[in-house]
Amino acid sequence: MFLDLLRRRNPGFLDAIAALHREGALPANTYAIDLDAVGRNATAFVEATGRLGLRPFAMTKQLGRNPDVSRVLAASGITHAVGVDLQCAIAAASGGLRIGHLGHLVQIPRHEADTAAALEPLYWTVFNETKAREAGAAALRRGRVQDVLLRVVQEGDRFYTGHEGGFPLEQIVAAADLVDGIPGVRFAGITTFPATLFDAGSGTAGATPNRSTLTEAVRLLETAGRIDIEVNAPGTTSISVLEALAEAGATQVEPGHGLTGTTPAHAVSDLVEEPAIAYVSEVSHLWNDRAYVFGGGLYVDPVLGDVATSAIVVPADGSAAHVAELDALPVEMPAPEAIDYYATIPLHGRTDVAVGDTVIFGFRPQVFVTRASTAAVSGIGTGAHRVEGIWAADGSAPLTLPNS
């Protein structure tokens, strides 16, 4: 789905990354990111959130916490990141973003609370009293008081399996009072995930029951006399859903795939954000009428269900003028339980695919769970495109050979 989107809306990016791979500047098993497009997407987010009174925190796990992207996000006005876990927060901070939110989705392990506190996050989500006390003690050791968000839940809310936890809605006022009685922390607001989900039937992103839970929690807290309640409402965040989130009372949003134009809604509609990421690989060898393609980053986010994967094979001799004009070929992906050393492309007798050819995929990524690299590419469409740097999936510099 996203390969077709790239071919239609960002063909110059495909031409550039094919050329960079052919020249040796872009290695196989690398997610290429259109840095300028991400910058434009971020600027659009900043303009929209500013108009609606929302604060954006960037979720960078899905693009490998690429520091070059982080730099552009900060320059565009998204200065803070959300860490899906502590490792994510550390990587984002190392890449140049300040930490706006941590502890959600993944709570902070008790012996790592001091590490989390050292990041001085704006907000820290806790699911229970024990975690609130750990956060408070760590904050006090830093000489500060930490604003915390409480995950609020009620019967009927939707969570991905393994994501459950939080404070029951009917106890949210008492929980806020409890937190305010713990040294080192103060109640700041509430959160959930997901507040928005894509519905394949309608082809749109809409509210989950969780969003209503947030709205009801605010009502209960305001009735109890609380004001200035932060409402963190992440999930399937594109500019197209911001107005609805603001109307529901959200104050914080966390764009991730929205910054690269790869939310599920982007697969079916042309939204404001431009598609800005592709997976680049290479034909390793041919065997039994199949082209074997290097893997390592072949994790396709399953949010859209069991969707077929395709790729474009670009001749290594540079004979293809425009990548978008080439056929997309069906790919046999490795089974989910297998290590993705290779994907295979059935050739059906065709002889125009050779070892060393560039292979470009377009799918919704989660780079941080892979062995892939990332590379931000600038200057698309200017005739002077270049790779800003090569980074490992955790945002660190990958290993290089002594003579490189």
pLDDT at 309 > cutoff 70: yes
- The answer to whether residues 18 and 358 touch, using CB atoms and an 8 Å cutoff, is yes
What's the whole-number average pLDDT of the chain?
96
> Does residue 86 share a domain with residue 123?
yes
Q: Is residue 54 part of a domain?
A: no
Q: Is residue 46 part of a domain?
A: no
Q: How many CB atoms lie within 10 A of CB 5?
A: 19
What pLDDT score does 182 carry?
Answer: 98
> Does residue 280 share a domain with residue 241?
no
- The answer to whether residues 289 and 347 touch, using CB atoms and an 8 Å cutoff, is yes
Q: Tell me if residue 99 falls in helix, strand or coil.
A: strand
What pLDDT score does 383 carry?
Answer: 87
Residues sharing a CB contact under 8 Å with residue 269, sequence separation 6 or more, in sequence order: 203, 204, 240
Q: How many CB atoms lie within 10 A of CB 26?
A: 22
> Does residue 288 share a domain with residue 249?
no
What pLDDT score does 400 carry?
Answer: 74
Residue where a domain terminates, one of 254, 284, 317: 254
Q: Read off the DSSP letter of residue 291.
A: E
Q: Is residue 260 part of a domain?
A: no
Rounded Cα distance between 298 and 179, Å, is: 43
Give me the CATH number covering residue 192.
3.20.20.10
Residue where a domain terminates, one of 198, 221, 254: 254
> Does residue 245 share a domain with residue 125?
yes
The region of weakest confidence among 115-124, 302-311, 334-343 is 302-311
Q: What sign results for the dihedral spanned by CA atoms 63, 262, 238, 204?
A: negative
Percent pLDDT > 90 in the chain is 94
Place of tokens 């393994």: 162
Q: How many domains does the chain have?
A: 2
- The answer to whether residues 50 and 73 touch, using CB atoms and an 8 Å cutoff, is no
3-state secondary structure 52-77: HCCEECEECHHHCCCHHHHHHHHHHC
3-state secondary structure 329-346: EEEECCCCCCCCCEEEEE
> Does residue 204 share a domain with residue 86?
yes
Q: Is residue 28 part of a domain?
A: yes
> Does residue 279 share a domain with residue 239?
no
Q: Which domain holds residue 373?
A: 2-33+272-392
Q: What sign results for the dihedral spanned by CA atoms 178, 184, 187, 192?
A: negative
Q: Is residue 197 part of a domain?
A: yes
> Does residue 289 share a domain with residue 221?
no
What pLDDT score does 404 carry?
Answer: 53
Q: Is residue 296 part of a domain?
A: yes
Q: How many residues does the chain have?
A: 404
Tens of pLDDT, residue by residue over 64-98, are 999 999 999 999 999 999 999 999 999 999 999 99
- The answer to whether residues 182 and 209 touch, using CB atoms and an 8 Å cutoff, is no
> Does residue 239 share a domain with residue 192?
yes
Buried b (16+ CB within 10 A) or exposed e, 272-303: bbbbbbbbbbbbbeeeeebbbbbbbbbbbeeb
Q: Is residue 56 part of a domain?
A: no
Rounded Cα distance between 218 and 216, Å, is: 5
Rounded Cα distance between 217 and 224, Å, is: 11
Q: How many CB atoms lie within 10 A of CB 95?
A: 22
> Does residue 242 share a domain with residue 283?
no
Rounded Cα distance between 130 and 362, Å, is: 43
What pLDDT score does 401 carry?
Answer: 64
What pLDDT score does 129 carry?
Answer: 98
Q: Is residue 74 part of a domain?
A: no
> Does residue 149 share a domain with residue 83?
yes
> Does residue 240 share a domain with residue 117?
yes
What pLDDT score does 267 carry?
Answer: 92
> Does residue 140 share a domain with residue 246?
yes
Ramachandran class of 348: left when φ > 0, alpha when ψ lies in -120 to 50, beta otherwise: left
Give me the CATH number covering residue 364.
2.40.37.30
